[in-house]
Structure 1
Amino acid sequence: MAPSDRRTRPLHQLAVEALVVTTANDQQLMGLLPEQQRICYLCRDIKSVAEVSALLSIPLGVARILVSDLEEAGMVAIHEPGGRDHHGHQPDVSLMERVLGGLRKL
């Protein structure tokens, strides 16, 4: 992917209900863009891509790109619908239920 494409398309096609959780510590976040830092702080508690977009008041497409970039940098883990993340790991079912409850409250 050309560098200019990276700003208009995420590396992975993320579903709006994909779950995002921060894997980085505070020290690792220092070199990130302010928007990326906000996403990482917000996603200490698992959030969907749609929640990230809504809670930070950024367009969904922008949220997808930023989250995808953060995953590539190893700062977040993404769990796609269907039960597995991009690395083949399966998320906790109780966690998925809590996220679903949070989405219903939006």
Structure 2
Amino acid sequence: MRDSVDVEEVPLFRPYTVTGGRAEPRYHLAMETLVSSATVVADDLSMLTPEQESIIMLCRSVRSVAEISALLRVPLGVARVLTADLADEGLVRLHMPRLDEGQPDLNLLERVLSGLRRL
């Protein structure tokens, strides 16, 4: 016998259809990479998928790749692929954390702590 599944939990699409079959982005995006929308002419949005358009709208306020994934309710890998594609097209800007400087970014740590407290 099959357990009942809440309809909202079942995705309406398969992730590989949204990414064109790709499981990895063109380059590595950490989940804490911050993303902001670039200035876009309204006509440019007509050629985007609904997911890509949603990412651009969400990133009018700076968001992390993890936040994009959660807010769109798509797997992190899908959010990474779509975000990297938008960055390649110049539609979003990526703000990579500078982890190689040896010191943790206190602003990032405070945001993570705040997010954990909200859970």
Greater radius of gyration (CA): 2
Counterpart check, 1:100 vs 2:91 = no
Distance 1:21 1:103, change over 3 A: farther
* Identity between Structure 1 and Structure 2 (%): 42
Partner residue of 1:29? 45
The 5 A counterparts of 1:1-106 are: 7-27=22-42, 28-82=44-98, 100=111, 103-104=115-116, 105=118
Please report the TM-score for the alignment, with normalisation by the length of structure 2.
0.66
Aligned residues: 91
Poorly superposed stretches of 4+, deviation over 4 Å: none
When the two chains are superposed, the root-mean-square deviation of aligned CA atoms in Å is 2.6
Q: Which runs of 5 or more residues in structure 1 are unaligned? A: 84-92
- Alpha-carbon contact 1:22-1:41 (below 8 Å) kept: yes
